[in-house]
Structures are given as C-alpha cells and as structure tokens.
C-alpha cells in the first residue's frame, strides 16, 4: 500500500474538504467471562501510557491514552494533528477562512 507523508497532498481545485477518519481498537469484557479480573488487567495493561507509546511506535496508531498522546505530540506535530482531528467538532479550532465542511 503506498504511503503519502502527512501534509504532502492538497485539496484539488473544487474539491470538498472531508473529515479525518481516526480509528481504534475496541475492547470489552463479556458479561459471561470466567476471567473478568484478568481481562480487566489486560485492558489496563494495553491502555497504559507506556504500552500505548510502544503501540504507536510499532503500528503508528494515535494512543487512546491521553497522557501517552500528549507525550508523543510534544515531539511530533503530526501526532497533534490527529489528536485535534478526533476531538468533537465543538472543541476543534475554527476552520481556515474559505474552507467548507459538510455535516451529516
């Protein structure tokens, strides 16, 4: 799969701005699990600050752990851009003058 460095592309003339898809991994503990305590410990481990930073280093995902995301954003403005993109619209900065958006 080809990779395009973040910020290396531009909206084509007449193009319509679109939001960023920031995906993640969902975790849950089944009500019928025989090992709820162990499952919770696993979730706490993989969502901890250090493991989230490691996960980012291996896979490039933006951490769900806010402290890990903040640490990474200090050194990498691209991480900050993705953190900003996943904020609810009401907490984002205003769009640049002339930018268009669609809601739905």
Give dist(CA 86, CA 71) in Å, integer.
17
Instruction: Tell whether the model's pLDDT for residue 96 goes beyond 70.
Output: no
Give dist(CA 101, CA 25) in Å, integer.
27
Helix residue ranges per DSSP H, 3-64: 36-46, 49-59
Q: Where are the domains of the chain?
A: 51-87
pLDDT in tens, 80-94: 888 877 766 555 444
Give the mean model confidence (pLDDT) for residues 20-26: 66
**pTM for the full predicted model:** 0.60
pLDDT at position 80, please?
85
Span of 1-10, 20-29, 48-57 with lowest mean pLDDT: 1-10
pLDDT at position 89, please?
55
Q: What confidence tier does 15 reach under pLDDT thresholds 50, 70, 90?
A: confident
Q: What confidence tier does 42 reach under pLDDT thresholds 50, 70, 90?
A: very high
Give dist(CA 63, CA 99) in Å, integer.
28
């Amino acid at each position: 799969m080809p990779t395009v460095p973040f910020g290396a592309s531009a909206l084509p003339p007449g193009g319509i701005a679109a939001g960023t898809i920031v995906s993640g991994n969902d975790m849950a503990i089944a009500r019928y699990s025989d090992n709820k305590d162990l499952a919770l410990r696993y979730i706490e481990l993989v969502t901890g600050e250090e493991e989230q930073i490691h996960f980012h280093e291996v896979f490039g995902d933006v951490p769900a752990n806010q402290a890990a995301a903040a640490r990474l954003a200090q050194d990498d403005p691209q991480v900050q851009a993705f953190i900003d993109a996943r904020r609810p619209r009401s907490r984002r900065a205003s769009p640049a003058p002339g930018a268009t958006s669609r809601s739905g």
